[in-house]
Amino acid sequence: MTGEETGEKDAAKKINPTLKMVLELGPVVLFFIGYIKLREEVFLIAGQEYQGFIIVTAAFIPLMILSTLLLWKLTGHLSKMQVATLVLVIFMGGLSVWLNDERFFKMKPTLIYLLFGGALGVGLLRGQSYLKLVMEEMMPLEHEGWMILTRRICLFFLGLALINEVIWRTQSTDIWVYFKTFGLPVAMFGFFMLQGKVFQEHGLPDEDEA
pLDDT for 83-96, tens place per residue?
A: 999 999 999 999 99
By the 8 A CB rule, do 105 and 31 touch? no
Based on the number of CB atoms within 10 Å of its own CB, is 203 exposed (0-12), middle (13-18) or buried (19 or more)?
Answer: middle
- pLDDT given for residue 132 in this prediction: 84
- φ, ψ of residue 201 to 5 degrees: the values are -85, -25
Tell me: pLDDT of 110 over 90.
yes
Q: Where are the domains of the chain?
A: 3-196
- pLDDT number for residue 174: 96
Q: Minimum mean pLDDT among 12-21, 24-33, 53-62, 85-94: which range? A: 12-21
Residue 176: Cβ within 10 Å count? 21
- Asked if the model's pLDDT at residue 73 lies above 50, the reply is yes
Higher pLDDT, 162 or 210: 162
Q: In this predicted structure, what is the pLDDT of residue 67?
A: 95
Secondary structure (DSSP) of 49-94: EEEHHHHHHHHHHHHHHHHHHHHHHHHS---HHHHHHHHHHHHHHH
pLDDT over 50 (residue 51):
yes
Binned at pLDDT 50, 70 and 90, residue 1 comes out as very low
pTM of the model: 0.82
